[in-house]
């Protein structure tokens, strides 16, 4: 809350959170991710996943993507997680707290994941020059309008992703039909 | 403190991805496996949005292709979660278990 | 530091835009205090209004005309024993009311009380509001699960299914209001709440009256959906005592239960504020463009003072009509003090209105303007609050399958139809 920070905030186009925010949010996301895969109770794991989703949404806000952050909160945290909690309540009554958490072949899985992690680490260390940050602040006030232009088109032309948008709505229709039919008792 | 570059976001995304992969490979509860898949998809989304920020502008306008791709992946994750949980409920009606290694009706 | 605080005072943007954390914190505290006072007042008004609807008097003993009843209720709830069911999940039982409360209060970050009186005017204001209010469903589901008992679980599942179903209709009604913001010269709409009210001001018409009856129909769909979202009558099957022994908050007692009630009333006020901002012109006084002369400005700026004067007059009449036995003396004195307080506030507002009559930027004029914005906003929200109580007193409860049928088979097609017709009419007109 020092005047220096205020000057920096007022001079730029859009406010950028300090590195402290990034480390806090990233740490929260990774910690909740660890909790998701290690907690015994499925409802607790779902709550940890909600915390992960919300912190990833905040990271999107730091990346000048407010619309994606809003969609993440509405769809992921507000819709998909409610679906998960419903299914956990239908399916998981009380037995899972006494059962084994991990597979019998969990060392093999852990080894494979560590190999993947080693691959990522080597990619980031060796390829650091590829990820050159241009550092340009994107305007935040027209983010939604620009995404809308890409999705819907403007001035009588189709947007770049209009066809994909229509296919996505068809995909959702198929998913709705599939989920309804699979959970019916008698088709 | 070092300024936060794209690589910082990529490292966080990689960490979430590896955590999701561990969850899919290790856990017995199918619902938790599906939640780990959601973690993987979130890691991919974070990667895409970080790259869209990195590439800055194209033709003078902000390059938002990564963000549009991320929106499509969120839509896709919703569809896949619905269908996956539907399959789980349909299977649960048959065999009353949610553990991955007990879903072995096709084994001989 | 002081010039950091003072530098905001003359600005015309919200503290979020200006990057001023201190004033954002002050606004948050003011909103928190204001909403708490509103919830307490709402509690009293609900009990008195329901009672008068049912031809009885309601609480009369605790303060004069029961004015101190909410405080007595709050004290009782705080002193009650905090019972946690034996097999309940301790952490989740504790965190469930907090999720609902956080979701209800976070919506106030984007609600504008004036052109720069909001905590932060986000670019995606409406999307943020829809997302955060859908997080409230999680609190309900988790509360029912954590109680480890049949009735709360069924109540929680029913309540959350109802909330999720009506969220769809609510979202579509909101989208048709957002569509109306883009019917201007540049063809660009906005998702920010302050932008929506400014679009109504610029187009010269509240969105409830735009393309009549489309705006009205969208508001009706939103109003019905918001009653179902907040689990109020006639959609309160999940929490009515005669149906499911109070549903998802059965096992909660004392302070935890009061947190649920607080989050319910807060959510009611929040969604009413959203409806007022989207369709009823937010902080705009009636006819801001049509009756623009300074004389009309002055007449409309007298309204806050006159309202409080009317309330003080009602309180004085109540004092005069109180029975004159000796044990009513303290109640009579209490009511007279309350009436005098209201009269004092009325006098203050009238003085500010008269002093700020000139159109320059003196302090009194700016206060006058700010008070005018907040007054008209709160008045419109209060109308919606009274409608909530009226519905509860008048209509019988819907059965759950009827409720779901209305949500999916009536609300969703109507809101889709309104959206499509609004879009078609907008393209034709422009």
- C207 with C200: CB under 8 angstroms? yes
Domain layout of chain A by residue ranges: 1-7+15-97, 141-187
Instruction: Give C75's contacts (C-beta < 8 A, 6+ positions apart).
Output: none
ipTM: 0.92
Radius of gyration of chain A (CA): 22
Backbone angles phi, psi at B14, to 5 degrees: -65, -40
pLDDT at C146: 87
Partners of chain C (3+ Cβ pairs below 8 A): A
Per-residue model confidence (pLDDT) at position A17: 56
Establish if B103 touches chain A: CB-CB under 8 angstroms.
no
Copy the structure tokens of residue A36: 């998701």
CB B64 within 8 A of CB A142: no
In chain B, what are the helix, strand and coil shares in percent, each to the nearest 5?
75, 5, 20
**Nearest-CA neighbor of C98 among C258, C239, C221, C275?**
C258
**Predicted pLDDT of residue C361:** 63
The label of the residue with tokens 């680490």 reads A121
The pLDDT tens digits of the residues spanning C181-191 come to 888 877 778 89
Query: CA angle, C216 as apex, C111 and C190 as ends, to 5°?
Result: 40
Share of chain A above pLDDT 90, in %: 47
Looking at residue C416, its pLDDT comes to 95
Separation between Cα atoms, residue C203 and residue A152, nearest integer Å = 25
Residue ranges and CATH numbers for the domains of chain B are 6-102 (1.10.287.3510)
Taking 90 as the threshold, does the pLDDT of residue A14 lie above it? no
Residue C410 preceded by cis peptide, ω within 30: no
Model confidence at A3: pLDDT above 50: no
Of all residues in chain C, the percent with pLDDT exceeding 70 is 96
What percent of chain C shows pLDDT beyond 90? Answer: 47
Q: How far is B62 from chain A (nearest CA, A)?
A: 6
Residues in chain A closer than 8 A to B42 (CB atoms): 52-53, 56, 76
Provide the number of CB pairs (under 8 Å) joining chain A to chain B.
238
Nearest in space to A75 (alpha carbons), one of C222, C118, B90, B45:
B45
Q: CB within 8 A of A67, min separation 6: which ones?
A: A143, A144, A147, B67, B71, C124, C127
Is the pLDDT at C281 greater than 80? The verdict is yes
* Cis ω before A122 (30° cut-off from 0): no
Tell me the pLDDT tens digit for each residue of C356-372: 776 566 777 888 888 88
Please report the pLDDT score of residue C144 as a whole number.
87
Tens digits of per-residue pLDDT, C207-252? 998 888 999 999 999 999 999 999 887 888 777 755 656 677 778 8
User: C187 φ, ψ to 5°?
Assistant: 75, 15
Mean pLDDT of A71-95: 87
| Nearest residue in chain A measured CA to CA from C96 | A47
Rounded Cα distance, C251 and C191, in Å:
40
* B and C interact (at least 3 Cβ pairs within 8 A): no
At A103, the pLDDT band (50, 70, 90 cuts) reads confident
Strand partners, A102: B27
If one counts every other C-beta atom within 10 angstroms of the C-beta of residue A128, the result is 11
Residue that the structure tokens 């001023």 belong to: C20
- How sure is the predictor about A8, in pLDDT bands with cuts at 50, 70 and 90? very low
Per the DSSP assignment, residues forming a β-bridge with B61 are B58
Helix axes C363-394, C294-301, angle to 10 degrees: 60
Question: What does the alpha-carbon distance between residue C257 and residue A73 come to, in Å, rounded to a whole number?
Answer: 27
Name the maximum alpha-carbon separation found in chain C: 72
Nearest to C128 among A10, A70, A141 (CB): A70
Burial classification of residue A170, based on how many CB atoms lie within 10 Å of its CB (0-12 exposed, 13-18 middle, 19 or more buried): exposed
d(CA B51, CA B48): 5
> Is B17 in CB contact (< 8 Å) with chain A?
yes
Q: According to DSSP H, which parts of C107-149 are helical?
A: 125-146
Position A129 scores a pLDDT of 76
> What's the token pair of residue A135?
């550092």
Structure-block tokens of residue C116: 């720069």
* Residue with the two structure tokens 């700010």: C370
pLDDT confidence of residue C89 = 79
**pLDDT (average), residues C101-130:** 90
What are phi and psi for residue C83, nearest 5 degrees? -95, 130
Percent of chain B with pLDDT strictly greater than 90: 55
Neighboring chains of A (3 or more beta-carbon pairs < 8 A): B, C
| pLDDT at residue C393 tops 50 | yes
Helix (H) or strand (E) holding C244: helix C241-244
| pLDDT (mean) for C394-408 | 91
What's the burial of C366, exposed, middle or buried (CB within 10 Å: 0-12/13-18/19+)? middle
What's the pLDDT score for residue C385?
94
What distance in Å separates residue A2's CA from the closest CA in chain B?
17
Q: What is the pTM of this model?
A: 0.90
| CA distances to A144, A150, C175, C268 from A164, in Å | 18, 11, 21, 38
| The pLDDT of residue C56 | 94
Q: Is the pLDDT of residue A119 over 80?
A: yes
- CB of C228 closer than 8 Å to CB of C235: yes
Question: What is the mean predicted confidence (pLDDT) over C270-298?
Answer: 87
A155 by Cβ neighbours in 10 Å (0-12 / 13-18 / 19+) ranks as: exposed
Please report where in the chains the tokens 């896709």 appear, as a residue: B76
User: Cβ–Cβ of A82/C145 closer than 8 Å?
Assistant: no
**Among all chains, which residue has been given the structure tokens 């008992």?**
C149
What is the interface size between A and C, counted as CB pairs within 8 Å?
83
Output the average pLDDT for chain B.
88
pLDDT band at A135; cut points 50, 70, 90 = low
% residues pLDDT > 70 (chain B): 92
Q: Name the residue among C262, C177, C168 with its Cα closest to residue C217.
A: C177
Band of the pLDDT at A31, cuts 50, 70, 90?
very high
Tens of pLDDT, residues A34-73: 999 999 888 999 999 999 999 999 999 888 899 999 999 9
Contact with chain B for residue A91, Cβ under 8 A: yes
Whether A and C touch (3+ CB pairs < 8 Å), yes or no: yes
Mean pLDDT for chain C? 88
Contacts of B88 in chain A (CB under 8 A): 87, 91
Tell me which chain A residues have a C-beta less than 8 angstroms from the C-beta of B31: 42, 84, 87-88, 91-92
pLDDT reported for residue A96: 56
Helix (H) or strand (E) holding C78: helix C69-79
Minimum CA–CA partner of C165 in chain A: A79
Q: Kindly report the average pLDDT of chain A as a whole number.
A: 83
At C36-77, the pLDDT tens digits run: 999 999 999 999 999 999 999 989 888 888 899 999 999 999
> Hey, is the C-beta of A36 within 8 angstroms of any chain B C-beta?
yes
Long-range contacts, A2-6 (Cβ 8 Å, 24+):
A3/C1, A3/C3, A3/C4, A6/C4, A6/C7, A6/C19, A6/C20
Task: Give me the count of residues in chain A.
Answer: 187
Q: How far apart are CA C157 and CA A87, in angstroms?
A: 11
CATH assignment of A1-7+15-97, given 3.40.718.10, 1.20.120.1200, 3.50.50.60, 3.30.2310.20? 1.20.120.1200
Name which of C311, A55, A68 is nearest B65 in CA terms: A68
The reported pLDDT for the residue numbered A92 is: 66
Is pLDDT at A146 greater than 50 in this prediction? Answer: yes
Binned at pLDDT 50, 70 and 90, residue A6 comes out as very low
- Which of C11, C14, C87, C134 to substitute to test the interface with A, most A CBs within 10 Å? C134
CA distance C98 to chain A (A): 13
More confident residue, A36 or B54: A36
């Amino acid at each position: 809350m020092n005047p220096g920070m205020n000057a920096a905030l007022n001079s730029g186009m859009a406010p950028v959170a300090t590195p402290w925010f990034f480390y806090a949010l990233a740490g929260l996301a990774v910690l909740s991710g660890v909790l998701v895969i290690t907690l015994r109770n499925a409802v607790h794991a779902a709550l940890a996943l909600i915390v992960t989703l919300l912190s990833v949404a905040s990271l999107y806000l730091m990346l000048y993507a407010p619309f994606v952050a809003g969609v993440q909160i509405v769809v992921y945290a507000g819709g998909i997680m409610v679906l998960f909690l419903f299914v956990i309540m239908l399916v998981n009554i009380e037995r899972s707290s006494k059962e084994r958490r991990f597979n019998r072949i969990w060392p093999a899985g852990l080894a494979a994941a560590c190999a993947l992690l080693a691959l990522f680490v080597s990619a980031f260390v060796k390829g650091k020059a590829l990820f050159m940050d241009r550092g340009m602040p994107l305007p935040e006030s027209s983010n939604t309008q620009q995404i809308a232009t890409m999705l819907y088109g403007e001035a009588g032309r189709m947007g770049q992703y209009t066809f994909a948008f229509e296919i996505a709505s068809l995909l959702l229709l198929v998913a709705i039909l599939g989920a309804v039919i699979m959970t019916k008792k008698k088709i | 403190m070092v300024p936060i570059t794209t690589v910082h976001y990529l490292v966080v995304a990689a960490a979430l991805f590896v955590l999701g992969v561990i969850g899919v490979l290790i856990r017995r509860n199918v619902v938790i496996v599906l939640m780990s898949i959601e973690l993987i998809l979130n890691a991919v989304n974070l990667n895409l949005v970080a790259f869209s920020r990195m590439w800055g502008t194209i033709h003078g306008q902000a390059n938002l292709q990564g963000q549009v791709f991320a929106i499509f992946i969120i839509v896709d994750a919703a569809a896949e979660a619905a269908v996956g949980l539907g399959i789980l409920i349909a299977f649960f009606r048959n065999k009353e278990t949610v553990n991955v290694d007990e879903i072995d009706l096709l084994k001989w | 530091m002081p010039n950091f605080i003072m530098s905001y005072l003359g600005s015309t943007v919200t503290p979020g835009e200006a990057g001023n954390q201190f004033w954002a914190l002050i606004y948050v505290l003011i909103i928190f205090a204001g909403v708490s006072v509103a919830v307490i007042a709402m509690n009293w008004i609900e009990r008195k209004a329901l009672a008068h609807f049912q031809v009885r008097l309601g609480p009369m003993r605790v303060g004069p005309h029961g004015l101190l009843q909410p405080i007595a209720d709050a004290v009782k709830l705080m002193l009650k024993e905090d019972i946690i069911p034996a097999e309940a999940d301790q952490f989740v039982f504790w965190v469930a009311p907090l999720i609902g409360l956080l979701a209800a209060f976070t919506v106030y970050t984007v609600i504008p009380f004036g052109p720069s009186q909001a905590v932060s005017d986000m670019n995606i204001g409406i999307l943020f509001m829809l997302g955060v209010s859908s997080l409230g469903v999680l609190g309900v589901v988790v509360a029912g699960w954590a109680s480890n008992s049949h009735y709360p679980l069924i109540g929680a599942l029913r309540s959350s299914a109802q909330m999720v179903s009506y969220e769809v209709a609510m979202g579509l009604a909101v989208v048709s209001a957002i569509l109306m913001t883009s019917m201007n010269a540049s063809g660009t709409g906005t998702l920010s709440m302050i932008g929506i009210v400014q679009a109504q001001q610029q187009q010269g018409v509240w969105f409830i009256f735009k393309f009549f009856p489309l705006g009205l129909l969208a508001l009706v769909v939103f109003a019905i959906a918001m009653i179902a979202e907040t689990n109020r009558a006639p959609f309160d099957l999940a929490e009515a005592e005669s149906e499911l022994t109070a549903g998802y908050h059965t096992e909660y007692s004392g302070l935890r239960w009061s947190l649920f009630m607080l989050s319910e009333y807060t959510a009611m006020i929040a969604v009413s504020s959203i409806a007022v901002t989207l369709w009823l012109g937010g902080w705009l006084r009636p006819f801001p463009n049509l009756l623009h002369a300074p004389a009309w400005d002055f007449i409309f700026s007298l309204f806050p003072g006159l309202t409080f004067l009317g309330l003080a007059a009602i309180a004085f009449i109540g004092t005069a009509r109180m029975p004159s036995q000796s044990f009513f003396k303290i109640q009579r004195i209490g009511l007279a003090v309350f009436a005098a307080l209201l009269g004092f506030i009325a006098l203050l507002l009238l003085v500010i209105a008269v002093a700020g009559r000139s159109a320059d930027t003196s302090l009194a004029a700016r206060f006058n303007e700010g008070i005018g914005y907040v007054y008209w906003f709160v008045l419109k929200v209060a109308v919606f609050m009274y409608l909530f109580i009226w519905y509860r007193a008048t209509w019988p409860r819907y059965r759950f399958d009827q409720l779901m049928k209305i949500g999916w088979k009536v609300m969703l097609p109507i809101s889709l139809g309104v959206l499509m017709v609004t879009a078609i009419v907008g393209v034709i007109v422009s």
